[in-house]
Amino acid sequence: MCYIILNIYSTGTNQAPVNQPHHLLRLNVGFIIGQSIGYHREFTFDHPQLTISSELEVSDFKGVVRIDRTQQGLVMQAKFHGNTRLDCVRCLGETVVPLQTEFDELFAFSKRSVTESGLLLPEDGHIDLEPILREYLMLEIPIQPLCRPDCKGLCAECGENLNERVCEHHT
């Protein structure tokens, strides 16, 4: 079984990292619009390192997106997984947290068909996955990440990491 890890950290800016091409999460689906109903196409993603919306650092990012042409619009079925790095709330040690998400969305051809997500297919025929993916992945991030379920944390008196050593306060 594979799973995903997202590295999350805040860069404090709204700019994409200089060395990351901007189009990695942009899908050109314009050609699907002209296909008949029932046509579908899959897009795969595989990036060792990816920054999503300038705030989610993801490693081993993998995913597959299936786009189906329907009467109302393009239906997206997406599955992603990756790893992120977070600090354990008990011992403050860095820990790798696997994240995965699956979602379906309709990109409607017209306002009449939009679902509650309110997504319309952009006129340029390109879907920008980044904001959508960010939203879904943020939901997967644990509020209180732990390096392991039984993390013993730090000693309140001397600050010793009790996973590594037992201090005089805990004998």
Residue among 73 and 145 whose Cβ is closer to Zn ion: 145
Interface with Zn ion by CB under 5 A: which residues? 88, 90-91, 147, 151, 155, 157-158, 160, 167, 169
Q: CB of 79: closest distance to Zn ion in angstroms?
A: 29
Residue among 139 and 158 whose Cβ is closer to Zn ion: 158
Q: CB of 88: closest distance to Zn ion in angstroms?
A: 3
Q: CB of 149: closest distance to Zn ion in angstroms?
A: 10
For 37-72, strand residue ranges (E) read 40-52, 56-69
Length of the chain: 171
Q: CB of 84: closest distance to Zn ion in angstroms?
A: 16
Residue among 64 and 166 whose Cβ is closer to Zn ion: 166
Residue among 68 and 160 whose Cβ is closer to Zn ion: 160
- Spatial separation of the C-alpha atoms in residues 78 and 167, rounded to whole Å: 48
Backbone angles phi, psi at 131, to 5 degrees: -65, -35
Q: Is 33 helix (H, G, I), strand (E, B) or coil?
A: helix
Residue among 87 and 104 whose Cβ is closer to Zn ion: 87
- DSSP states of 74-139 as a string? EEEEEEEEEEEEEE-TTT--EEEEEEEEEEEEEEESSGGG--TT--B--TTSEEE-HHHHHHHHHH
Q: CB of 140: closest distance to Zn ion in angstroms?
A: 19
Report which of 129, 60, 137, 44 is spatially closest to residue 99, judged by C-alpha positions.
137
